[in-house]
Structure 1
Amino acid sequence: MSVTVKLAEPETDVPPPLRLMVVLCALMGFAAISTDFYLPAMPMMGRALHADAGAMELTISGYLIGFSSGQLVWGPLGDRFGRKRPIAVGLVLFIIGSVGCALAGSANEIIAWRVVQACGACAGVVLSRAMVRDIYGAERSGAMLSTLITVMAVAPLVGPLLGGQILILAGWRAIFWLLVVIGVLTGAGLATIPETLPAHMRSRHGMLGILTGYRILFVDGRVMACALIGGFFYFGVFAYVAGSPFAFITFSHVPPQLYGFLFGGGILTIMLANMANVRLLPRFGGLQLIGWGAIGSAGAGLILFLAAWTQWGGLLGLVLPCYVFVGASGLIVANSMARAMAYRPDQAGAVSALLGAAQYGFGMLGSAAISLMADGTPRPMSAVMAIAGVAAMMSYFCFGGRGDRPTTRLA
């Protein structure tokens, strides 16, 4: 027997103070800063630790594994104990993992500590999204998530640049010590903001209830539609991240020092798309914008596929469809997260965790597919991105139209 329960929406007339928004941006940015800062240092780290490129790349893979799986734990804990306490514990783990990386004497040690670091970092990412839902409710959370994503998109732009400067001035270990400082400062900032989930709205379930809660989400077609759309989309995004250096530098002969500008163009596209999403949401609604993003990613992926296999358009024939594809994140990511949490407001933390795990889990598969199919041309990247875009679009049309009215159904 199912009972529909309406939960009171949070107060949305008065926005939270700037300090709260700064802390939320910092928490959501942990996924980027934890990796982007040390990317320029990877070759030097390999030489210092007597490790090959494959071992250093595993430091990223290990992080993604910890980040994806850890969210599934922190989300329900945030629904049970409130948002701040689990985030605080996660920050402690992040600091410990960062210290471990700074003191590591081998690549294997760094890989292990990176898993610890990721398990802590994902607490802030997954629960900061739930905090946005707590504060702004169903109607405005999509716009606010887009705003936060736009702000934190600066991290992939400045992270490698800042990391490179630190590398020159103080060596690669100083980058991880900087992450320790960032973790401590974020913890101090967390202590100054209020808890966003009142005690009377928290889940009372134990560990068995957590598993039951995920079972409820898995059978909710609306939530799973959001998870699949975002997951398939990230399948293509990570294929772009893994494949674009070979497509642009190796195949199209772009000088390595200019690759960062091409990659930065994609980040700027994402920022602009999120800014447009904020303006379009009041008029068209999140569900319709998700559909536009899914259709756009499918179209861009197919055009990229044709360009890669026919060499039509040269470098621009590759770059422009890639920009359109990644730009679709401005319509898909924030809106799918907001809609899914609106469908299950009593499980906002678990929903955020499920969608985040789907995104990074599918993303790992996308990057792995590129590694297996790599042939020195853009064809593998284009094929994976085309499949991802079409799959996201089909997920929207098959499951995404099951209604947009946020409800909570308790078994």
Structure 2
Amino acid sequence: MTKQRYFFLILILGSLSALGPFSIDMYLPGFPAIAQDLHTTVARVGMSLSSYFVGVSAGQLLYGPLLDRFGRKKPLYFGLVLYGLASAGCYFAQSIDSLILLRFVQAVGSCAATVAAVAMVRDLFPVADAPKVFALVMLVISASPMIAPTVGGYLVAGFGWQSVFVVLLAMGLLLLATALWLPDTYTPDPTLSLHPRPILTTFWTVLREPQFFTYALTGAMTFGGLLAYVSGSPLVFMDIFRVSTQVYGWIFAGLSVGFIGSSQVNSWLLRYYRSEQIVLAAMLSQSVIGLLFVAGTALGWFGLAGTVTMLFLFLCCLGFANPNAAALSIAPFAKNAGSAAALMGATQMAVGALASYAVSLFDTRSALPMVAVMAATALLALLALVVGRRFIAEPVAAAEGGAVVAH
């Protein structure tokens, strides 16, 4: 494989993986405008984000068996077409209920791109190159929270919130056209059963492993804190602090540096500390920060600058916790690593959907619901970690560098 083809494939696979994050982050600046146009509240608009997370959670479990049964490309084409139709539907949505439903369908479509990209990395590149390839793919994905909300802010300000879904539709069509040029990387296995029983049996085998449920639940809870922030931040910044859609996009992009930057520092820390040590330290720190954040918000200590600072610190802890929790979750599995990764990703999104929904339940002009849910996820993650570790008889170490990608 030539060097140019190598990086071309990584760019395509990274772009496929980034479709979901772009679909989440780009429309966040449009929350107030959507609420006004559809005659609802910003909190109710947040439920369209929760439904997207539910769709991603369900879709990850759906596409794994389909990609093995029918090959990589057919399910990918189906998912991208479904994504495009749902994006067009979101543009024409006339009620918040229809938008919530269409966002769920859009999420199910985007999952095909994410799961297929991970599978194709395994197909196209030598096993020894996988960590390096995944790191480069993650570099493409990391651009999403820095670019998408900023672009979305300018789109909403200049052309209205519907324009975001025009851009997402164009992205889906472009990726579909690009995917046609991808090589056939896997021979379909028509003997693979799609009946629920063998699939559920495999998932149950994974769930019974103490190290998996301890670190998967810890990681899912911390991820729930991230999605509570994503869901609540439009109301906090644009409604409470009255920043513009463009400024909100820049704030969101700046805060993402905390999460992305700490995950990069984590790679350096792994030279000196074990993943188990980093996760515990991160969860203790995040719990303390969460409690201070709740107290300060309730007592009115934090203005815009203070809120941004506390969010930055909270997200830094998440950047240390999540990669290590993910690596430790699937470390015990040689045979069922794919099922473990799918179940871990589905659990993350399910908990994230609950956290996002919890924030949207409070129709109040206050940052306290978002902050309280974030603090609760940190404390629950610490509880899951402390209790779960007692059941792990023989811990399996994570791969060096925590080279695990969770979607």
Asked if TM exceeds 0.5, the reply is yes
Matched residue, 1:184: 173
Indicate how the Cα distance of structure 1 residues 167 and 264 shifts in structure 2: closer, same or farther if over 3 A, else same. Answer: closer
Find the aligned partners of 2:233 and 2:206 in 1 and give their Cα distance.
35
Indicate how the Cα distance of structure 1 residues 170 and 312 shifts in structure 2: closer, same or farther if over 3 A, else same. Answer: closer
Indicate how the Cα distance of structure 1 residues 96 and 255 shifts in structure 2: closer, same or farther if over 3 A, else same. Answer: closer
Indicate how the Cα distance of structure 1 residues 132 and 347 shifts in structure 2: closer, same or farther if over 3 A, else same. Answer: farther
The answer to whether the aligner puts 1:291 opposite 2:317 as a matched pair is no
User: Unaligned stretches of 5+ in structure 2?
Assistant: 400-407
Matched residue, 1:330: 319
Taking only aligned residues, the RMSD between alpha carbons, in angstroms, comes to 3.7
Find the aligned partners of 1:81 and 1:366 in 2 and give their Cα distance.
34
Find the aligned partners of 1:76 and 1:85 in 2 and give their Cα distance.
13
The answer to whether the aligner puts 1:52 opposite 2:44 as a matched pair is no
The counterpart of 1:155, out of the listed 140, 144, 152, is: 144
The answer to whether the aligner puts 1:206 opposite 2:198 as a matched pair is no
Matched residue, 1:6: none
Note if contact 1:137-1:342 (Cα within 8 Å) is conserved in structure 2. no
Indicate how the Cα distance of structure 1 residues 26 and 291 shifts in structure 2: closer, same or farther if over 3 A, else same. Answer: farther
Note if contact 1:29-1:125 (Cα within 8 Å) is conserved in structure 2. yes
The counterpart of 1:403, out of the listed 395, 398, 401, is: 395
Matched residue, 2:267: 278
Which secondary structure does the structure 1 equivalent of 2:395 belong to?
A: coil
Find the aligned partners of 2:36 and 2:364 in 1 and give their Cα distance.
27
**Which amino acid in 1 is paired with 2:172?**
G
Find the aligned partners of 2:95 and 2:235 in 1 and give their Cα distance.
28
**Which amino acid in 1 is paired with 2:23?**
S
Q: How does 1:3-402 map to 2 (within 5 A)?
A: 17-42=6-31, 44=33, 50-53=38-41, 56-104=45-93, 106-132=95-121, 135=125, 141=131, 145=134, 148-167=137-156, 172-194=161-183, 204-207=192-195, 208-245=197-234, 253=241, 255-256=243-244, 258-284=247-273, 286-312=275-301, 316-373=305-362, 376-400=365-389, 402=394
Find the aligned partners of 1:350 and 1:406 in 2 and give their Cα distance.
17
**Which amino acid in 2 is paired with 1:53?**
T
User: How far 1:119 sits from its partner (Å)?
Assistant: 0.6
342-351 vs 398-407, which moves further:
398-407
User: How far 1:185 sits from its partner (Å)?
Assistant: 2.3
Aligned residues: 390
Indicate how the Cα distance of structure 1 residues 320 and 106 shifts in structure 2: closer, same or farther if over 3 A, else same. Answer: closer
Indicate how the Cα distance of structure 1 residues 379 and 37 shifts in structure 2: closer, same or farther if over 3 A, else same. Answer: closer
Identity percentage of aligned residues: 30
Indicate how the Cα distance of structure 1 residues 229 and 139 shifts in structure 2: closer, same or farther if over 3 A, else same. Answer: farther
**Which amino acid in 1 is paired with 2:62?**
V
Find the aligned partners of 1:154 and 1:406 in 2 and give their Cα distance.
26
Q: Output one character per residue of 1:134-176: Cα deviation in whole Å (capped at 9) or x when no partner.
A: 65759964x7656544442322332233234445666554433
**Which amino acid in 1 is paired with 2:230?**
V
User: How far 1:321 sits from its partner (Å)?
Assistant: 3.0
User: How far 1:232 sits from its partner (Å)?
Assistant: 0.8
User: How far 1:272 sits from its partner (Å)?
Assistant: 0.9
Find the aligned partners of 2:26 and 2:243 in 1 and give their Cα distance.
22
Indicate how the Cα distance of structure 1 residues 218 and 195 shifts in structure 2: closer, same or farther if over 3 A, else same. Answer: farther
Indicate how the Cα distance of structure 1 residues 184 and 213 shifts in structure 2: closer, same or farther if over 3 A, else same. Answer: same
**Which amino acid in 1 is paired with 2:82?**
L
User: How far 1:342 sits from its partner (Å)?
Assistant: 4.0
User: How far 1:26 sits from its partner (Å)?
Assistant: 1.3
User: How far 1:18 sits from its partner (Å)?
Assistant: 1.1
TM-score normalised according to structure 2 size: 0.79
Find the aligned partners of 1:85 and 1:285 in 2 and give their Cα distance.
41
User: How far 1:127 sits from its partner (Å)?
Assistant: 4.2
**Which amino acid in 1 is paired with 2:41?**
A
**Which amino acid in 1 is paired with 2:373?**
V
User: How far 1:275 sits from its partner (Å)?
Assistant: 2.1
**Which amino acid in 1 is paired with 2:382?**
M
Find the aligned partners of 1:287 and 1:136 in 2 and give their Cα distance.
28
User: Unaligned stretches of 5+ in structure 1?
Assistant: 1-13
